[in-house]
Every structure is written in structure tokens, then in C-alpha cells.
Chain A
Amino acid sequence: MKRRRLLLLGPALGWWAVFLVVPVGLVIAYSVFQRGTYGGVVPTFTLDNLVRAFDPLYLRVFLFSLRVAVITTVIALVIGYPTAYLIATLPRRWRTPVLVLVILPFWTSLLIRTYAWIVLLNGEGLINHGLESLGLIRVPLPLLYNEFAIVLGLVYGYLPLMILPIYSSIERLQPELREASADLGGNPLRTFLRVTLPLTLPGLAAGCIFVFVPSLGNFIVPDLLGGGLSIMVGNLIQAQFLKARDWPFGAVLSLALIAMMGALLFVQAWLQDRDRRQAIDA
């Protein structure tokens, strides 16, 4: 039994130990070392990198990333919930094909899908050209290389991750509950607010996390649609490693990113646990 466990679990856990745990441990160590001249580190203890992360210059980048991730999540939720609701209440045989239709773009290259938006949003791009030929605008709208383009690209990239968990929580819901509420005189809005929404909150929370997490640390979308400046944490980390060659500071920024996500996941797990305990008590 023990041998079998080792044979089955060993390879995966071993791989993750070497290529995930050790490298992340190394990042933690690097965060308190001094930078090497051409990248790398000099193993002399320092807290300078940590202090530097609180420079308003970098705090602003963190705040901007948080803001973009929050706006993206809220928009994805507002668009995604009704979509998931519709799919989950379709006749059974339609649900999977329609769900696949909505999820499919997510499984294709984010790089390519983000590129497609450059074609659409460009000054000479399709949207501006269309509006100009309709006579609605004279000068091209500044659609690309700004916050709007980043949020649009992120919502586009991760909307399916919002729809999927909400869909499964609505689908699992017994239709009898909604019918009971209607029979008891609840109008559709009231039924939704008092029955459906509270019961699908776990799916909604999961969807928000699935969208928020990859948005916060994103590199490719702000890089291509935001104009290539170090505007979000992901870009800043990339620049510290590949351009400024300041690995220790890049390490500190990465740890800050993981800490923010870890805190979020912890809060979510705690809330879920509390709900479960309350449900048992009741």
C-alpha cells in the first residue's frame, strides 16, 4: 500500500517539489539579497528591496493593478451572470453545446486573442474606421493603449472563467425551489433576489476569484493593449528581471503579488467554511 502510494503520488509531488517549491523558495531568498550587476544576486542580506516596494512610484502600480482587476471582475460578473443563468435554464440537451460555445475561445491562445483587439481598436483599426465612414466621428477615438483597452482585453480573456462556475451552481439548483417561490407569490425578481442569488453565491465567488487572480498579475494584455509601459505588476516584474536586471526587487514584487492573492483565497476559504458551519448549525 505504501509502495503503491509512492509510485502514484511520488512523481507529481517530486516534480512540484523540484520545479515549483524550490524555485519559489529561491525567490523568497533572493528578495533579501543584493542585486548583481548583470542580473542574478549577491548573497548579502539587505532589506532595501522590501523598503523600496513601498515607494509611491511602485505603490501606484499596485493600486492601478488592483483597480483594473476589480473593474474587470465587476464587469465580467455583470455580463457573465445573466449568460450563465440563461445557459443553465436551457433545455438539458442544449446546455453542454452552448456552454462549449462560450468556453471555447478561452482555450485558445491569449496572445492571439489579445492581438485581435489591436486590429479592432487601432487608430486605423476596424472600429474607428467604421465610425468614421458612418460620419459619427472625425478624429479616431483613443481606444488603444489605455486603461479602457486593458480592461476590455482582460474581460474578453477571462469572461468564460466567470461563466463556468456560476453556470454549475445554477444548474445544480433545484428548479422546484424557484417554482415554490413563484407559487408562494414571489415575483421573478423577488425569487431571483431571495432564492437563486443567495444559493449561487459560492459559484459567484469562485467566478470572481478565477477572473480577479489572472487579471491582477497579467502581463500579456497590459503589455500589448496598454502600450508596453510598466503599468501593471506583471509588467513591472518582467521589466525588473529582463530589462532593469534587478532580480531581488523583482522577487519582492512577485512575493507581494502572491501575498495579495493568498490573502484573497484565504478570505474566500474562510467565508465558505463559515457558510458551511452556519448551514450545519441551522
Chain B
Amino acid sequence: MRSWAWGRRLLRAEFGLVVAFLYLPIVVVVGLSFNASGQPTAWTGFSLDWYASVLANDALLQAFRNTLIVGSVTTVIATVIGTLLALGLERTVRSSLLDSLVFVPMIVPDIVLAIALLSFYNLVFAGLLHLELGLWTVILSHVVFDIAFVAVVVRTRLRNFDRSIEEASLDLGANERRTFFNITLPAIAPGVIAGGLLAFTLSFDEFIIAFFTKGTVETFPTQVYSMIRFGVTPEVNAIATVVLLISITLVLVSQRLREADV
């Protein structure tokens, strides 16, 4: 029994190190964003200057607006299609092939999806239709993987859902359509919203596919990437802090909704 207590203590120590490893870089960047000198090596006092200089960076703000547009439109499309897919998988066909197909868009390497979509857009849109690539092509691309994530989240919710209330609604004379909008949808709503939030977060943070399919416009991640490539500037720390705050908030809300009682 004694050796077991020892093992437990070791496990706890390891766990502490893992949490430190996961959060140390984040804490450092957030801390530095408030450092007047902006240098990692010397703390010269609390300052919001770097946030002010972010707000004065027009190109960055434009990129941020672009990303909000891409994220919102992507989320709406992917949430509708993903929810329908979840219903279809859960209610119409039982096929393990179809079940595993849902995971394909999640595991295709993003660099491969990026070059495949660039080739496709270049041939069909730019080549045949003479359309310029832009935010709309980024949206078309982000929907591809977001559908899969929404479907997985909504499906979990559907599985824990008591179908007898739907039957009751049908027995009481409501038609299928009414039953869906009045009974099914409200019951799975937390799952749908959680899936949507996740879809938005993934689109908001996505870099490589946007980098290939954006044409000449910039999204927030591609703009931040070129800033990082240019060199470590204190401004990036402030941007990083804002991005982390947004994603963490969205993910925590999404998580809360997923745990909500059925």
C-alpha cells in the first residue's frame, strides 16, 4: 500500500508540471503584453501602450473585421448543415461507413486541404468564371471542416435525447414539421449552440487554409502571421492576449452548454 501512496504522489507532481508546461507560455505572453518596455527580459512597469498601438493599427483592425465576417458566415452555414447531418446520421441511416466519413474532414492534413482548394478555386473560379478569390473562398473552405465538428457535437446531444416526447407530440396531432421546431430543436438547442461556438472558434483561429485561399485580402491570423514572421514585437503580445481571451471564453461557454442537462 505504501508504494501506491508514493506512486500517487509522483503522479500529482507530474500533473503539476504538465499544467505548468501548458500554461507557462500563455502566462508569459499575457504578462508581457502589459510590460511597458515590451521586452521579455526587463519589467519596467504596467502599461496599456501596446493595446493602444494595436487599436491604431488599421491593417490589423481591417483583418480582424474580415475574420469576424468569415467566422460568422461560416458558423451560420456550418451549423445548419452540420445539425442536419447529425439528425440524418442519428435518425435515417445506420452506416458505419458514413459514421467514419464524418471524421475525414477533421483528419485531412490542413496543408493538403489548403493546396487542394487553392487548385480548385484557381481552376474553376479564377480560371473559368473570372472571379477573384477573397473572403468568400475562405468561407467556402472553412465550412468544410466546421460541418464535421458541429455534427459530432450535435450528435452527442441527440443521443441523450428522449424521443418519447417527440412521439407524444405526433400522437397529439402535431405534424412532423411542427414537432421538429417546437420539440426537437429546443431540446437539442444547447448542443447546436455549442457546436456553433466551436465552429466559430475554429474558423477564427484557422491560419493555413485561409493563407492559401484568401486571394489578396487578409484575415486576422494571416495578418498576425506576417507580423510574427517580421519579428517579435511587443504589439503581438497584446494581440495574442486578446485572441486567447476570445477563444477561451467561447470554448468555456461551449463546454458549459454541452454539459447542460438534457
**Residues of the A chain whose Cβ atoms lie less than 8 Å from the Cβ of B104:** 16, 20
Q: Could you tell me if B228 and A118 are in contact, using CB atoms closer than 8 angstroms?
A: yes
Write the nearest CB–CB distance from A253 to chain B, whole angstroms: 9
Closest B-chain residue to A232, C-beta based? B111
The number of chain B residues touching the other chain, given as a range, is: 35 or more
Q: Could you tell me if A26 and B119 are in contact, using CB atoms closer than 8 angstroms?
A: yes
A246-277 contact mask (Cβ, 8 Å, vs B): 1 or 0: 01001100100110010001000000000000
**Residues of the B chain whose Cβ atoms lie less than 8 Å from the Cβ of A1:** 92
Q: Could you tell me if A27 and B112 are in contact, using CB atoms closer than 8 angstroms?
A: yes
Tell whether B247 is near chain A: CB-to-CB under 8 Å: yes
Q: Could you tell me if B247 and A109 are in contact, using CB atoms closer than 8 angstroms?
A: yes
Write the nearest CB–CB distance from A170 to chain B, whole angstroms: 12
Q: Could you tell me if B228 and A115 are in contact, using CB atoms closer than 8 angstroms?
A: yes
Give which listed residue, B15, B143, B232, contacts A82 with CB less than 8 A. Answer: B15
**Residues of the B chain whose Cβ atoms lie less than 8 Å from the Cβ of A237:** 111-112, 115
Tell whether B28 is near chain A: CB-to-CB under 8 Å: yes
Q: How far is the CA of A98 from the CA of B52 in the complex (A)?
A: 35
Closest A-chain residue to B250, C-beta based? A107
Residues on B facing A (Cβ under 8 Å): 3-4, 7, 10-12, 14-15, 18-19, 21-26, 28-29, 32, 39-41, 80-82, 84-85, 87-89, 91-93, 98, 104-105, 107-113, 115-120, 122-123, 140-141, 143-144, 147, 151, 198, 201, 205, 207-208, 212, 221, 224-225, 228-229, 232, 236-237, 239-240, 243-244, 247-248, 251-252, 255, 259
**Residues of the A chain whose Cβ atoms lie less than 8 Å from the Cβ of B151:** 12
**Residues of the B chain whose Cβ atoms lie less than 8 Å from the Cβ of A9:** 84-85, 88-89, 92-93, 98
Write the nearest CB–CB distance from B27 to chain A, whole angstroms: 9
Q: Could you tell me if B41 and A27 are in contact, using CB atoms closer than 8 angstroms?
A: no
Q: Is the interface of A mostly helix, strand, loop or mixed?
A: helix
Tell me how many residues of A have a C-beta within 8 Å of chain B: 77
Tell whether A172 is near chain B: CB-to-CB under 8 Å: no
Q: Could you tell me if B259 and A96 are in contact, using CB atoms closer than 8 angstroms?
A: yes
Write the nearest CB–CB distance from B37 to chain A, whole angstroms: 12
Q: Could you tell me if A254 and B112 are in contact, using CB atoms closer than 8 angstroms?
A: yes
Total A-B pairs, Cβ < 8 A: 225
**Residues of the A chain whose Cβ atoms lie less than 8 Å from the Cβ of B140:** 19
Give which listed residue, A27, A86, A213, A217, contacts B14 with CB less than 8 A. Answer: A86
Closest B-chain residue to A99, C-beta based? B255
Q: How far is the CA of A134 from the CA of B28 in the complex (A)?
A: 19
Q: Could you tell me if A12 and B84 are in contact, using CB atoms closer than 8 angstroms?
A: yes
Q: Could you tell me if A124 and B26 are in contact, using CB atoms closer than 8 angstroms?
A: no
Q: How far is the CA of A188 from the CA of B221 in the complex (A)?
A: 48
Closest A-chain residue to B89, C-beta based? A9
What are the nearest 5 A-B pairs in CB distance? A8-B88, A217-B109, A116-B25, A23-B116, A23-B120
Q: Could you tell me if B4 and A30 are in contact, using CB atoms closer than 8 angstroms?
A: no
Q: Could you tell me if B85 and A11 are in contact, using CB atoms closer than 8 angstroms?
A: yes
Q: Could you tell me if A120 and B25 are in contact, using CB atoms closer than 8 angstroms?
A: yes
Tell whether A219 is near chain B: CB-to-CB under 8 Å: yes
Q: How far is the CA of A220 from the CA of B225 in the complex (A)?
A: 9
